[in-house]
Chains A and B, each alone.
Chain A
Amino acid sequence: MFKSKLIAAATIGSLLFAGQALAADKKVVAVSIPAADHGWTAGVVYHAQAAAKEINAAFPGVEVIVKTSPSATAQVSALEDLSAGRKLDALVILPYSSEELTTPVKAVKDAGTFITVVDRGLSDATIQDLYLAGDNIAVGRNTAKYMIDKLGGKGNLVVLRGIPTVIDDERIKGFNDAIQGTELKVLDIQYANWNSDEAFKLMQDYLAKYPQIDAVWANDDDMLLGVLEAVKESGRKDIKLALGGNGMKDIVKKVIDGDAMTPVETPYPPAMIKTAIYMTVANLIGQAPVRGTVKLDAPLITQANAKEYYFPDSPF
């Protein structure tokens, strides 16, 4: 495995050099994303690299360069490096944080670059030409709707939330708003930091505390893995549903296999970076108008459509 990675690294390196030599007569699209430090960002890196490979092969006139950064500061430096030597025709960026990246992205924009912002918005929305994101409120809402439907409008729930952030708040808000007025009752809600180990412990505690739990919602699939292990170990039969969110391949596989406890999944797909890259290139090459805001919905992934969301080779 190590060897193949070395070869891959060498190949990518040489491709970059070859690309730079030809850069003068090519349209350059830079993609700046966070480095893979957990499942979801690993998925972003995978899909960004896949898109770059496909586009570079399909359109000889375009060169897509993917650059990952382990922190907001590193991403600012990466932007400077990317735009220092050449003119960027377009920049696709998933910003680490809104505030820190706003000014640096504006500087790139001022040099005449088309700006596509993905997932996390900048503090100044006028900078972006195209904004593409998922819908975190819909992630919570659609999960809640399915639960209401499946449980006949009543039952006891426990919820595991992630890290205190806007993403987490929106998912919880979407969920809470949807169950309002039904007889679904949230017995407990606690943070488990989007971490499967912490979710495992928290679920064990929920199981010890509440004798009757009808359904569990972990607002992210990493946590759902821990929840499922705790439920399995406890041998409890009262839990009818355990749902997650994000579209991790292990969970989508469960949906494909018709799992009884996790029959559906709600996507917040890291593959949205691919949508953004393709749309940006469509504008550069095909003059397709793309300026505006695109919000990907979070339609339920069921057995019928799960294949569309299943990427067995992706790390996420």
Chain B
Amino acid sequence: MEDMSAVVGSTPLRQEREWNIGWADVGPFLALLALLVIGFVINPDFLSATNLGNVITRSAFIAIIAVGATFVISSGGLDLSVGSMAAFITGITIMFMNSMAPEWGLAAIPAGMVVAIVVGTACGLMNGLIVTVGKIEPFIATLGTMGIFRALITYMSDGGTIPIARSLREAYRPVYFGTIGGVSVPILISIAVAAVASFALYKMKYGRKCAAVGANEDVARYSGISIIKTRTIAYAIQGTCVAIAAICYVPRLGAATPTTGVLWELQVITAVVIGGTALRGGKGHVWGTVAGAVILELIANLMVLSDFVSEYLVAGVQGVIIIIAMLIQRFSK
């Protein structure tokens, strides 16, 4: 971490605005690097291929959802419903696949994935319309849908579990546990999602509209940008991302339960903010967000691999690390 302040100190003459962008882009990756070094010092096993593979793979859900959240937050919105939505989509997808499996066999898996995407996008669109057309504060609107999705998954499962049919389980497993060219599938999917998202956010007109709406609603309106359309699309993208995460999630434990995705929304928002996107909106940082998701998962992993934190204090130490990371980011500007 000291390295970073040294870098900051050595470039005092740069224009502030320019530097902000530079720091926000590089900051999360420096933090990631610092964590890896600290981790290695604490326990050399930390850098083993298996451990890093595990940690990055399981950060994929949060990373994929957080990429969607980068759009929502960048456009000045917020979505608290993503964790419950992930559980709901997981439940719907499994129920659909199970009901189609006897007739369609393994074709039920890709069909179920399509259903997941459609349902996810629809859920996101609904959130977006409530916020934009309904003109309800995003916090309250998505707090409401968060309750709705959570209740639906609890109802669908009778409070228990919705397991995927045995006949589909083995065929579906590679979507979480498989590798292509030595890289696990969820990692590849999250890289693909982030690549598409960064293209949309940085190279397409929509991305600039998103940042404009988030940075200053009035100016955006005077420039002829449709606030309603821009924000609604951001929520729909968020829904699609949640669906993609759900598709990767299903084969991991092969079941949806009422506790699936609990508190994911907070991890997602934390990942976005660690990644350098301001919670009040403005420019989004897709790759920073991905790094943020990996950082969160690495911190949790480090807590287990190190021996000096009492089991009772783990959550506290995690909180302290996150706050320190954000403070460094704030004061180096």
Contact = CB atoms under 8 A, between A and B. Distances in A.
Nearest to B251: A229
A222 interface: yes
Contacts of B257: 38-39, 196, 222
B159 A45 contact: yes
B285 interface: no
A191 interface: yes
Contacts, number: 95
A190 B314 contact: yes
Interface string A185-218: 0001111001111001110111011000000000
Contacts of B154: 36-37
Contact of B158 (A36, A188, A202, A226): A36
A4 to B, nearest CB: 12
Interface stretch (B50-58, B104-112, B190-198, B271-279): B50-58
Interface in A204-263: 204-206, 208-209, 222, 225-226, 229, 233-234, 250
Interface in B299-328: 300-301, 304-305, 311-312, 314
Contacts of B54: 204-205, 208
Contact of A39 (B58, B161, B163, B297): B161
Interface in B278-293: none
A208 B45 contact: yes
B20 interface: no
Interface in A27-42: 35-39, 41-42
Contact of A205 (B157, B253, B301): B301
B252 A200 contact: yes
Given A41-B159, A164-B312, A315-B157, A229 B253 contact: yes
A316 interface: yes
Interface in A146-182: 161, 164
A315 B155 CA distance: 11
Contacts of B50: 208, 234
A268 interface: no
Instruction: Classify chain B's interface size.
Output: 20 to 34
Given A39-B159, A42-B160, A196-B253, A206 B304 contact: yes
A37 B154 CA distance: 7
A38 B258 contact: yes
Contacts of A209: 43, 45, 304-305
Nearest to A46: B158
A222 B160 CA distance: 10
Interface in B171-191: 177
B158 A315 contact: yes
A229 B300 contact: no
A216 to B, nearest CB: 14
A102 interface: no
B33 interface: no
A199 to B, nearest CB: 9
- The majority secondary structure among interface residues of chain A is helix
A222 to B, nearest CB: 7
A209 B50 CA distance: 11
B226 interface: no
Which of B160, B258, B260, B304 neighbours the largest number of chain A CB atoms within 10 Å of its CB?
B160
A219 B50 CA distance: 26
A56 interface: no
A293 B16 CA distance: 72
A234 B154 CA distance: 31
A97 interface: no
A205 B48 CA distance: 12
A43 B257 CA distance: 13
A164 B157 CA distance: 26
B159 A42 contact: yes
A305 B93 CA distance: 36
Interface string B25-67: 0000000000000000001010010110010001000000000
B160 A316 contact: yes
A180 B162 CA distance: 39
B158 A191 contact: no
Contact of B304 (A39, A161, A202): A202
Contact of B159 (A196, A197, A204, A315): A315
A314 interface: yes
A107 B209 CA distance: 61
B247 to A, nearest CB: 16
Contacts of A222: 257, 259
A208 B159 contact: no
B304 A205 contact: yes
A38 B259 contact: yes
Interface in B108-161: 154, 157-161
B161 A197 contact: no
A259 B321 CA distance: 42
B78 to A, nearest CB: 24
B90 to A, nearest CB: 11
20 contacts: A36-B159, A36-B160, A38-B159, A39-B160, A39-B257, A190-B304, A196-B253, A196-B259, A201-B297, A202-B304, A209-B43, A209-B305, A225-B253, A229-B252, A229-B253, A233-B177, A234-B50, A250-B161, A250-B163, A315-B159
9 cross-chain pairs, A with B, having the tightest CB-CB distances, nearest first: A36-B159, A315-B160, A42-B159, A205-B304, A208-B51, A315-B158, A42-B160, A204-B54, A190-B311
Interface of A: 1, 35-39, 41-43, 45-46, 161, 164, 188-191, 194-197, 200-202, 204-206, 208-209, 222, 225-226, 229, 233-234, 250, 314-316
Given A191-B311, A196-B255, 11 more contacts: A36-B158, A201-B58, A208-B54, A209-B43, A222-B257, A233-B177, A250-B161, A250-B163, A315-B158, A316-B159, A316-B160
